[in-house]
Structure 1
């Protein structure tokens, strides 16, 4: 009897552990093209987006199958830093704690180059730590094309949807259009993948809010086998 009870508890624990509807990794561009003001706008903008009431509601829409979130910074081939470790989002307080961490995070030394391919590989490695989640999504924010490391089009992790958040120069419509096309061609992947656009770092919070709402409200019809 005790043996069967132990088996039942073990099976229940395994099923509970698997109840994660989405693993979401956010990669933030901190390369040399991002100055101190823009760095602050990016982290504070993400913090504000996580507290957007509609984003909060999207995170909490399936309490029995919460989403899990990790946030990292990236620049050159060897410059990646996790600023928020994996956290299961079960309440608004979880998001508030992450927002506070982001607003208190200062810039660290980093390579000035832009290694989008390496950023994709790093994010995919983080997502692989949660194989039981039903969906795996990687978001990469960036204000420029890759100029070092593996080409982004050569890094195609299986089973991962990769979306982009393009940050354009303020008022530079042609630049935003060209960078958006670059991300659509070489960075994003997956049937539901898309590129969101921030016209500048001042618009980052609004763009991030739109992107998170779109990603988190994807209807999960069934679990992946």
Structure 2
């Protein structure tokens, strides 16, 4: 019998109960990569290389370092019970060396499984546990990349009802393909996955352009909030 979300939350209770020491941090950003069976080996390599490249692109470097630090976590997801860390815990980005190290770690990573379905709800639940262990940042964002709709376990809607995600923004990088279902895929992500103020999606036709799409999304996620024309972090001009 499949466990309902409430019992799954109890199973993850120890992780949810944890916390991290406060940091002067502007954003806790969780990167979630799809490694379900719809993603073949070459596509998985392209998404890891694309994310690694995007993190060290000149504009993204500048955005990361233009103000208080950003905390990063990353994991791969597929089936309901398959979420595996890519980074070993939270990484606080304070300088270019941090970005270089994180980029290399992602580039050198290898997927854990390749034969499981697409459990977007469980990916969101796992991201919620990651955020409970994050530094005390002023904003929280989950960045879900995927090329298919949910088909395993509890739904994204139930994840939002049962996990502490009320103050979290969830954005999406939607990867299309050669088929004719891209419009439906985009509509599903926008209706079921995007969450919170300012949530948005970026669409890319395929994994060949993953790096550019990820770079565009990171640049938007790392924009400094403005008050009266002055960034909150004081990084004017």
TM-score for the superposition, normalised by structure 2: 0.82
Select which of 190, 207, 212 maps to 1:206.
212
Following TM superposition, by how much is the alpha carbon of 1:109 offset from its aligned partner in structure 2, in angstroms?
Answer: 2.6
Q: Deviations over 1:131-165 (max 9, x none)?
A: 62100000100000000111112222211000011
Residue pairs, 1:39-50, within 5 angstroms:
39-50=44-55
Query: Which residue is equivalent to 2:86?
Result: 83
Query: Which residue is equivalent to 1:153?
Result: 157
Query: Which residue is equivalent to 1:52?
Result: 57
Distance 1:25 1:55 in 2: 16
Query: Which residue is equivalent to 1:125?
Result: 129
Distance 2:142 2:27 in 1: 10
Following TM superposition, by how much is the alpha carbon of 1:43 offset from its aligned partner in structure 2, in angstroms?
Answer: 0.4
2:144–2:171 CA contact under 8 A, matched in 1: yes
Structure number, greater radius of gyration: 1
2:177–2:205 CA contact under 8 A, matched in 1: yes
Distance 1:191 1:162 in 2: 9
Distance 2:46 2:134 in 1: 30
2:174–2:203 CA contact under 8 A, matched in 1: yes
Select which of 202, 216, 223 maps to 1:196.
202
- Unaligned runs of 5+ residues in structure 1 are 1-15
Q: Given the superposition, is the C-alpha separation of residues 184 and 210 from structure 1 closer, same or farther in structure 2, using an over 3 Å criterion?
A: same
Are 1:138 and 2:146 an aligned pair? no
- Unaligned runs of 5+ residues in structure 2 are 1-20
Following TM superposition, by how much is the alpha carbon of 1:122 offset from its aligned partner in structure 2, in angstroms?
Answer: 0.5
Query: Which residue is equivalent to 1:13?
Result: none
Following TM superposition, by how much is the alpha carbon of 1:125 offset from its aligned partner in structure 2, in angstroms?
Answer: 1.1
2:71–2:135 CA contact under 8 A, matched in 1: no
SS in 1 for 2:98: helix
SS in 2 for 1:162: strand
Following TM superposition, by how much is the alpha carbon of 1:110 offset from its aligned partner in structure 2, in angstroms?
Answer: 5.1
Distance 1:162 1:183 in 2: 10
Distance 1:120 1:202 in 2: 26
Superposed structure 1 runs of 4+ greater than 3 Å apart: 220-223
SS in 1 for 2:85: strand
Distance 1:81 1:93 in 2: 25
SS in 2 for 1:155: helix
Query: Which residue is equivalent to 1:101?
Result: 105
1:136–1:160 CA contact under 8 A, matched in 2: yes
Which one is further off, 83-92 or 123-132? 123-132
SS in 2 for 1:147: coil
Query: Which residue is equivalent to 1:166?
Result: 174
